[in-house]
Structure 1
């Protein structure tokens, strides 16, 4: 099965490894330890299992650089080292085959070393990377919309539809009736999400409830037309922002004290949205990236 691996550093520079020259991917391996926690009582045979965590993930890429001249090979080698420069911080390693497209954030743990293997036309080398977060994710966020207005039909501004001219045109639609959405997490572990509340007009205290667990997150704040509240529950990136007229404001202190940064369990997750007033003026979207143990 053919595969393509692309490393994108923090500057946006890309190194693409494929099954063809000049940057040839020869092998791809990943490994990571599982830390198992247990307890043992006096005179007990064996132990009691308590739980486990995953350690960091190590990724190894065997590569070959193929060129026509020694100078060309040197340019390829310099490009690899420049793009993988650990001083640029973590980058994204993107994996693609005929079935899956996934990515993981990682950084090299050794400067690559290349050996000449064929009359100055081929360099072989090993790229070793470490992913501090051991989970692969989808390339882009999935999106589910709970509450929104859907367009049904419209009248054009230029009268081309045969109706009288209307400045700006008119679009007629309907509001989705359901207050509940089911989100299926088909990944290997739970994952965070990004919740967006959008105000079409004035409303107060938007919130979203996990119907299965009773947990919720609520923002004790009024909203005005055009305002968007974005809540991130991703591990290591929890935040609450208000965006209005192009200005982003941190409103973390408006979170209700009993709120939970909701996660998506593996399988079905039912969510219901609400607000204390103006619920018909609220649109809600949920974005998420499923997490996987491998590719």
Structure 2
């Protein structure tokens, strides 16, 4: 089975699958261009490999409107053009292929091309999407909560009494193809909370005190998604880059495989929970 759904920035969606909007061919869902980065020293034969960067992904869908009534053909042409409007910016492609489902952010590279029908009873068309982030993502977002203070006191008890301990940790497993960004939601009250990836040694430390009702959100993705904002509980979102210890902190990704994540704070209340959310990323589908 091969079904593609595109949802634009206005929330309008269209499905290409079976009649009346049939997929004839679909390219770009697996293959993606790559830039090999290398350097050459004087008198060196060949060069030295440094890194590989994937280019934006381009997905081409060739399809047909499988109705023959002129009025219905015009209606479907209008619907496709309205939903797949390049002026609307980024949308989301959801692809179901042989039991696998993935998503990717995409925008129209141009307007929809409707070819001349000539003797063809159906209306052929071509849609090209550009995906600035070339990675497919898992449909489900995984969210794990952590607390800065873990209660330990239970009945019956024995001396010495242990009411709790600072910090908690969780093991996150990324079985995607590449490291994936995370979104961290710090909830106050907490003083200088810190998230550490013990697997890589990287950490993000907040250099401020978060009060009760405060919500600090950090997204480590590249580009426009990368942000640090704070909500004081009144619905007003403000930039909060100055809350982070930018000299030592790293807006890290989850590495491929096992990641042990630790949360701690100098002081915190019972509501000082942090939520870590992420979607796994894949090179192809």
Q: TM-score, normalised by structure 2?
A: 0.85
For the 8 Å contact 1:147–1:176, the answer to whether it is kept is: no
For the 8 Å contact 2:172–2:260, the answer to whether it is kept is: yes
1:10–1:208 CA distance, 2 compared to 1 (3 A): same
Q: Distance in 1 between matches of 2:243 and 2:89?
A: 33
1:256–1:16 CA distance, 2 compared to 1 (3 A): same
1:74–1:175 CA distance, 2 compared to 1 (3 A): farther
Tell me what 2:279 maps to. Answer: 289
Query: Which piece of structure 1 moves more, 141-150 or 20-29?
Result: 141-150
Tell me what 1:242 maps to. Answer: 230
Q: CA deviation at 1:178?
A: 7.1
Query: Which piece of structure 1 moves more, 95-104 or 265-274?
Result: 95-104
Match of 1:266 among 256, 262, 276: 256
**2:8 equivalent to 1:9:** yes
Displaced runs of 4+ in structure 1, greater than 4 A?
116-121, 174-178
Aligned 1:205-284 pairs, distance under 5 A: 205-236=192-223, 237-247=225-235, 248-257=237-246, 258-278=248-268, 281-284=271-274
Q: CA deviation at 1:37?
A: 1.7
For the 8 Å contact 2:149–2:167, the answer to whether it is kept is: no
Match of 2:20 among 6, 19, 22: 22
Q: CA deviation at 1:229?
A: 1.8
In structure 2, the gaps of 5 or more residues are 151-162
Q: Distance in 1 between matches of 2:138 and 2:24?
A: 24
Q: Distance in 2 between matches of 1:176 and 1:138?
A: 35
Q: Distance in 2 between matches of 1:221 and 1:50?
A: 38
Q: Distance in 2 between matches of 1:25 and 1:126?
A: 10
Q: CA deviation at 1:14?
A: 0.9
Match of 2:191 among 183, 204, 208: 204
Q: Secondary structure at the match of 2:145?
A: strand
Aligned 1:1-295 pairs, distance under 5 A: 2-18=1-17, 20-30=18-28, 31-115=31-115, 117=117, 121-147=121-147, 179-199=168-188, 202-236=189-223, 237-247=225-235, 248-257=237-246, 258-278=248-268, 281-295=271-285
Q: Secondary structure at the match of 2:51?
A: strand
Query: Which piece of structure 1 moves more, 106-115 or 269-278?
Result: 106-115
- Number of equivalenced pairs: 268
Q: Secondary structure at the match of 1:32?
A: coil
Q: Distance in 2 between matches of 1:207 and 1:79?
A: 49
- Could you report, residue by residue, the CA deviation over 1:60-117 in whole angstroms, capped at 9, with x for unpaired residues? 1111102241110011011111211111112111111343221111222233222355
Q: Secondary structure at the match of 1:81?
A: helix
Q: Distance in 1 between matches of 2:112 and 2:195?
A: 48
Q: CA deviation at 1:146?
A: 2.4
